[in-house]
Amino acid sequence: MIKVKNIYYMLAYAYQALNEAGYKSIQFEEFENVHDLLAVILMRGISQQIKRGLHRDYIAQTEPMSSLRGKIDITASVKQQTLITRQMICHYDLFSEDTLVNQILKTTMLLLLRRGEVKQENRKALRKLLLYFANVKTVDPYHIRWNAINYQRNNASYKMQIIICCLVIKGLLLTNEDGEYKLADYIDDQHMHRLYERFVLGYFKHKYPHYEAKASYIDWNLDDGVKDFLPVMKSDITLTYGEKILIIDTKYYGHTMQSHTLYDSRSIISGNLYQIFTYVKNKDIEGTGNVSGVLLYAKTDEAITPDNDYQMGGNRISVKTLDLGADWSEIERQLGGVAACFLPA
């Protein structure tokens, strides 16, 4: 089980915005659950945003009006017979804070208040922040147009806050049989996997700047150059130091081993091993042996967790497990050990 505080550190490395001054003190606080952690991160970001000013934009409005404004829609006015009440249908733009990003913030704060396990002092703080959103509507959390969010100069500061909102809504939000919302006790595996991958990449970028750390594409090692219909190969993390290359593929599953009932045995998940082997062999075109690979699983509650090294066709391929339930210093030691086995210090 991942410690709540470790989720904060993972977020901090995955999204460097959490290392800014307004968020740094969070690392010294204690949290009973993930709802409380995400509520505090969101509160800090919204508080800073309020000081800057809530994002405002021109919002298209259409309504019958006695005093004419904007563009008059004569056809609609006739159809709706608004002339009887001495009104006309008008289309106009209103410069307002009722924008999508603010609607998402308000919706998420209300979800944490009504459906989350947030301690009392943080609930009070959320209610105070909601006062600034009096002119902002809520939005159905299941129908938020995440792809419609366009960040520009005047709303770029919302990025971290929207990431947290997305994690609450897409990673925690559930629906009861009666259609009521509730928040799960833990972030689902799909979103934890994405966070896990980003965290490991961000950690090596920050802690090991002498390695070139990035997610990189790997070309197929083809004899004739024909690559029609071949799938794209993209590593989660590639670390490069001189001629040495380490490809890391992160895995966050409920189970790290596959069972074979016929033989009453367990083994590494075959598809994962085939994948990292393919990455390594296609990257090491010259067959130098300078390319290595690691399957890095997040530790589960299983009795057996993989920790093995293999030499395959001249390349070293390992299967390791990272214990996200350990103290943070131990997690850092484990990650350092992964790099040290393959690359110069």
What's the 3-state SS for 54-83? Answer: CCCEEEEEEEEECCCCCEECHHHHHHHCHH
Cβ-contact 14, 199 below 8 angstroms: yes
Contacts 24+ apart (CB under 8 A), 284-290: 284/245, 284/314, 284/315, 285/221, 287/314, 288/243, 289/314, 289/315, 289/316, 290/243, 290/244, 290/245
How sure is the predictor about 258, in pLDDT bands with cuts at 50, 70 and 90? Answer: confident
Return d(Cα 150, Cα 169) in angstroms, integer: 19
Instruction: Please give the model's pTM, rounded to 2 decimal places.
Output: 0.87
How sure is the predictor about 259, in pLDDT bands with cuts at 50, 70 and 90? Answer: confident
The model's pLDDT over 118-159, given as tens digits with 9 standing for 90+, comes to 999 999 999 999 999 999 999 999 999 898 898 988 899 999
Please, which residues have CB within 8 angstroms of residue 237's CB and are 6 or more apart in sequence? 197, 200, 201, 204, 213, 214, 215, 247, 248, 249, 250
Q: Give whichever of 6-15, 60-69, 168-177 has the largest mean pLDDT.
A: 6-15
Q: Where are the domains of the chain?
A: 4-56+98-187, 65-95, 199-340
In CATH, the architecture of 199-340 is 3-Layer(aba) Sandwich (3.40)
